[in-house]
Amino acid sequence: MKTHYKAAAIAATAWLAASAPAMAQSIDERVNEIFANSTGWFVNFIFSPFPGTTFPWIVAWLVIAATIFTVYFGLIQFRAFPHSIALVKGDYSDPNDAGEVSHFQALATALSGTVGLGNIAGVAVAIGIGGPGATFWMILAGLMGMASKFTECTLGVKYRNEYEDGTVSGGPMYYMTKGFAERGIPGGKAMAILFSIFCILGALGGGNMFQANQAHAQLTNVIGDYPGWITGVIFAGIVFAVIVGGLKSIAKVTEKVVPIMGVMYVVTALVILLMNANMIGWAFGQIFEGAFTGLGVAGGMVGALIQGFKRAAFSNEAGVGSAAIAHSAVRTKEPITEGFVSLLEPFIDTVVICTMTALVIIITGQLVSDPETGLYLLNEGGSAIQTVDGNSGVALTSAAFSSAFGWFKYVLAIAVILFAFSTMISWSYYGLKAWTFLFGEGKTTELVFKVIFCIFVVIGAAASLGPVIDFSDAAIFAMAVVNIVALYLLMPIVKRELDSYLSRLKSGEIRKFH
Amino acid sequence: MSQKIVVGFDGSESGRAALTFAVEAARKNGGELLIAHVLEWSPYSFLTPTELEERHKRRGEELERAEKAILAPVVESVKASGVAVSTALRYGHIAETLISIAKEEGADQIVIGRTGHSSLSSRLFGSVAGSLAQAAPVAVTIVP
């Protein structure tokens, strides 16, 4: 283990030394350049389209998987929905387990890792490129993704490691190794290693750099322009204090404020929708029409579909495997119950929150269309729809909300920073779990990862949106490539658990406590 | 008639006053005492991933600490005074849990101190004494 640590430390030092002369240039530009050059090949591979089309294979991969799980488990996301709510409420929780991790807590923690910038900035990117029609595909992908989440979280709990001291570790790397062994399938260990590598990259990308980047964008939007590395260093300092210094108070405050912010965000969106109630019908008309015709966006219907699916996957992480890590700590005798609870996650994240963002952007008229043809006008490069003030990403969402309430951009800035922060804390944990799976547990090994994580916060804040968002997507989707293969191979186990549980629920063997 | 008294005890000054009162009451009419310590807990709170991972371990530690530091010392002294005593150690909402203990044990009375540890939060969310006074199925004595 020592050698790994040393190698990583040397690499980190070398990297820092290499970037020092960059002070002469703008630090931002230099970081950007190194970043774009070193990650381009990876991004190109993940997003390469099917030959002769513009349809990335990875998007098809996720949607096909979600469809297969939906069919295989017989529309479980709709059948089990009421039971999922009862589980979260604690109707089936043994009172003697009070003080253990409840279903609600596992769900809330997993949600605070997923609800974040994807819901605010990501949706704006999707709508900005794919038009209102992207919303339709996003909701559809969210609904189907519920079945993927159900599958992975059930397995996460079933094959978690419970250590003697009472702590638990779970996630795809554990169901790959233990589940494959149980079914007599070879290659579990190799897949687990591959998954862990991608998980570390995902933690540094979507779970870190994307967050830092968008938080900085929002800050400059409110305060005025200043170099990204300043935000990066401040953020890195706070993250360091929490994950290395063990400063629980900051994490505790965030964990409490984030749900309040989430509720406030949805309520504000609802108020804006009610203020424009007469346009809601029109907005849904745009969404449906755009979904099948594209309404002039780049790539037409396929363009809208790709954007919608991509953003849904990036926002709710269904099939990615990260949630399986977060949900593993729950106290339950029935792994399937956590599967039921976890299927609410894409629903809340994508079907509710993302849709709110999309509707507000559409209804407040941020997208510029040709009054005669009704088609959307593209910007100069032809890559995205023209917006009223030329905004994209989080700035577009901010402009949409601010057009109704001027003060909202300050609230949104705080929300973005807190969401970014809580997502970083969650992903630092997912990344750490993958890291310790590879290199073993131990204080030094863990510290190395945490320091690398903090360095990437600075890089993320300094790099411009393009390379960061591409790399973030690529890393997260790479996790899904490995994870979904494992889910296919292990889904009969979930099916068995499901049938057994449902029959016992019917026979009354599993009863309500409350 | 023999009485069963549930006394809510948190180790604080006022908890101690409640206990003294309850011991006295039990001795007078030959009743028995159940000392209940409730660890404040809501299944609807928010935790970080690391806290989730360690929850089961921490719970064990918290129970052990409460047993050793809060319950054990007073049980000895109550026993010495000749009153039959048992204990209950649970997680939950304090007032609700005291009520359910009283119901399960068929207690005749609940005795608590007026203020526990955190007076600020009780001002915000209502005190244990207040909730018990409103919801308890048996007589409640609040000791100042």
Task: Answer for the pair A341, A501: CB distance below 8 angstroms, yes or no.
Answer: no
Query: In A, which residues are within 8 Å of B56 by CB distance?
Result: 100-101, 166-168, 329, 331
Residues A126-177 pLDDT 10s: 888 888 999 999 999 999 999 999 999 999 999 998 888 878 889 999 999 9
Tell whether A251 is covered by a domain.
yes
Measure the CA dihedral A221/A424/A480/A59, to 10°: -10
Q: CB B56 to CB A101 under 8 A?
A: yes
Q: What is the CATH number of the domain that holds A147?
A: 1.20.1740.10
Residues B33-88 pLDDT 10s: 999 898 888 888 778 788 888 888 888 889 999 888 888 888 888 888 888 888 88
Residue B122's pLDDT is 55
Tell whether A511 is covered by a domain.
no
Tell whether A470 is covered by a domain.
yes
Q: CB B53 to CB A168 under 8 A?
A: yes
Rounded Cα distance between A43 and A37, Å, is 11
Written as one letter, the residue type at A266 is V
Q: Which of residues 53-82 of B touch A (CB under 8 A)?
A: 53-57, 59-60, 62-63
Cα A435-A437-A443 angle, rounded to 5 deg: 65
Check residue A299 and report its DSSP letter: T
Measure the CA dihedral A490/A491/A497/A503, to 10°: -160
Domain count, chain A: 1
Task: Answer for the pair A321, A113: CB distance below 8 angstroms, yes or no.
Answer: no
Q: What is the pTM of this model?
A: 0.85
Locate B97 and state its tokens.
């849990």
Tell whether A18 is covered by a domain.
no
Q: Which of residues 6-35 of B touch A (CB under 8 A)?
A: none
Q: CB A105 to CB B50 under 8 A?
A: no
**In chain A, % of residues over pLDDT 70:** 92
B49 and A CB contact within 8 Å: yes
Which has the higher per-residue pLDDT, A11 or A203?
Answer: A203
Report helix, strand or coil for B63: helix
B91 and A CB contact within 8 Å: yes
Q: Pick from A358, A38, A422, A372: which is nearest to A201 by CA?
A: A38
B90 and A CB contact within 8 Å: yes
Mean pLDDT (whole number) for A384-403: 84
pLDDT band, residue A367 (cuts 50/70/90): confident
List domains and CATH numbers for chain B: 4-143 (3.40.50.620)
Task: Answer for the pair A361, A367: CB distance below 8 angstroms, yes or no.
Answer: yes
Mean pLDDT (whole number) for A347-363: 92
User: What ipTM, to 2 d.p.?
Assistant: 0.82
Query: In B, which residues are within 8 Å of A430 by CB distance?
Result: 49
A112 and B CB contact within 8 Å: yes
Q: CB A108 to CB B46 under 8 A?
A: yes
What is the enclosing helix (H) or strand (E) of B6?
A: strand B4-8
Query: In A, which residues are within 8 Å of B36 by CB distance?
Result: none
Q: CB B46 to CB A101 under 8 A?
A: no
Tell whether A1 is covered by a domain.
no
B106 and A CB contact within 8 Å: no
Tell whether A172 is covered by a domain.
yes
In chain A, % helix, strand, coil (3-state, to 5) comes to 75, 0, 20
Residues 6+ apart with CB under 8 A from A445: A1, A4, A5, A435, A436, A439
Residues A428-466 pLDDT 10s: 999 999 999 999 888 899 999 999 999 999 988 887 666
Q: Collect contacts of A44-47 with beta carbons under 8 A, ≥24 apart.
A: A45/A474, A46/A473, A46/A474, A46/A477, A46/A478, A47/A470, A47/A473, A47/A474
Q: Which of A109-118, A169-178, B21-30, B116-125 has the highest average model confidence (pLDDT)?
A: A169-178
Q: Which of A121-135, A487-501, B3-17, B123-137 has the highest average model confidence (pLDDT)?
A: A487-501
Tell whether A421 is covered by a domain.
yes
User: Domain span at residue A66?
Assistant: 26-92+99-366+375-504
Residue of B47, B49, B56 lying closest to A166 (CB–CB): B56
Rounded Cα distance between B83 and B35, Å, is 12
Tell whether A300 is covered by a domain.
yes
